[in-house]
Amino acid sequence: MGKKHIFNAGPCLLPQVAIDNAIEALKDFKGTGVSLISISHRTKGWDEVMDECRALWKELLHIPEGYEVVFLGGGASLGFLYVAMNYLENKAGYLETGVWAKKALKEAKGLGNAFAVASSADKNYCYIPKGYEIPADLDYFHITTNNTIYGTEIREDIDCPVPLIADMSSDILSRPVDVSKYALIYGGAQKNAGPAGVAFAIIKTDSLGKVSRYLPTMLDYRTHIDKLSMFNTPPVFSIFVMNETLKWLKGIGGVEAIHKINVKKAETLYAEIDRNPLFVGTAAKEDRSIMNICFVMAPGHEDLQDEFLKFAVARDIVGIKGHRSVGGFRASTYNACTQEDVEALVAAMQDFEKLHV
């Protein structure tokens, strides 16, 4: 069996060193003689993991003073509710750029006046809306920076007249971010930051405490800030692997270095999609994601889709089937995906072309 080239949209491919270190910790956590998944979160040494993980987030993203990082259960889907609970008082605006943005808006509508300021639903979310105006009287404006299903991405930090909140589940740590422009950045870890089972939130602390509603203890961000993400038992395994993943990222040069690598990977694959007569990209070129590269068979070749998927699998290429709601193909080139992986996919596309053109 050859090396697998993994393009899964999530849970993601993780650095091998993080996997190896997790395996060792599963056997024995820091010389305690107890497995990582059997320790108490009050075990001596666990605080060090939590402290190091928070510090690495702050270092890698250059998070300024006045922000805290917390680790939570429930993923970004619960985060949709966290956002509305903690920030929605009068009205909130959302940029609707895909399924997850739409779901985030739905949760907010359940609590109050929330609406789409702009939407790309008219063209099946294949572009990022532009030229819209953000009302100055919003409690917050919510964006989903990367849209995994449709392959679009907001790659620059926008200027916003109201508190800006972003779901960065699938592009966090893949590119530099000016955290100071956001009241809150949140997301699930399972794309670039670690395994499934833990979510992150980067919170500007003075943005909290502005709503009059009762906040259930577990849905109040301040609970988790005050208790250092250990108000209840944290997902210790997921946080440990996250910490190992962040250590790997720091070791290769941090976010700035991985961004250059990610851009090269994306450019390599998009160039082949645009050149190869069998394939066509689905996202507007100016809004193409560098994390989730979506494409389909070109017109007239649609009947080759299943054949190409089988062809790719035979080449040890894993996880390129598009989301069930859109079909086609999706190559998720998250941080641990390598240039070698991308070139293997490109070679498969070129060889498939030779068979059919």
What is the residue-level pLDDT of the chain in tens, covering all 357 positions?
A: 578 999 999 899 999 999 999 999 999 999 999 999 999 998 889 999 999 999 999 999 999 999 999 999 999 999 999 999 999 999 999 999 999 999 999 999 999 999 999 999 999 999 999 999 999 999 999 999 999 999 999 999 999 999 999 999 999 999 999 999 999 999 999 999 999 999 999 999 999 999 999 999 999 999 999 999 999 999 999 999 999 999 999 999 999 999 999 999 999 999 999 999 999 999 999 999 999 999 999 999 999 999 999 999 999 999 999 988 888 999 999 999 999 999 999 999 999 999 998
In the residue annotation, 167 being an active-site residue is answered as yes
Q: Residue 262 is encoded by which pair of tokens?
A: 């990610």
In the residue annotation, 191 being an active-site residue is answered as yes
Q: What does R_g of the chain's alpha carbons equal in angstroms?
A: 21
Q: Residue ranges of the alpha helices (H) in 28-150?
A: 46-60, 75-87, 99-109
User: Tokens 């009050």, residue?
Assistant: 42
Q: What is the pTM of this model?
A: 0.97
Q: Which of 46, 57, 139, 167 is catalytic?
A: 167
Please tell me the predicted confidence (pLDDT) of residue 1.
56
Q: Which of 46, 57, 100, 248 is catalytic?
A: 100
- Sequence letter at residue 121: A
Strands 91-96 and 113-119: parallel
Q: How far, CA to CA in Å, does 13 sit from each of 16, 57, 98, 109, 154?
A: 9, 19, 23, 34, 23
In the residue annotation, 137 being an active-site residue is answered as no
Domains and CATH numbers, the chain: 5-13+254-356 (3.90.1150.10), 16-251 (3.40.640.10)
Q: How far, CA to CA in Å, does 59 sit from each of 64, 100, 250, 341?
A: 9, 28, 9, 28
First to last CA, the chain: 29
Long-range contacts of 89-92 (CB under 8 A, 24+ apart): 89/139, 89/210, 89/211, 89/212, 89/213, 90/137, 90/139, 91/115, 91/137, 91/138, 91/139, 92/138, 92/139, 92/140, 92/141, 92/142
Calpha distance 87→226 (Å, rounded): 18
User: Tokens 């003073």, residue?
Assistant: 65
Q: Residue 323 is encoded by which pair of tokens?
A: 């989301």
State phi, psi for 337 to the nearest 5 degrees.
-70, 135
Please tell me the predicted confidence (pLDDT) of residue 272.
98
Q: Reading across the β-sheet that carries 329-332, which strands appear in turn?
A: 279-281, 292-297, 329-332
What SS3 class is residue 313?
A: helix
CA 341 to chain centre: 20
Q: Residue 66 is encoded by which pair of tokens?
A: 């006045």
Please tell me the predicted confidence (pLDDT) of residue 107.
98
Q: Which of 139, 171, 191, 341 is catalytic?
A: 191
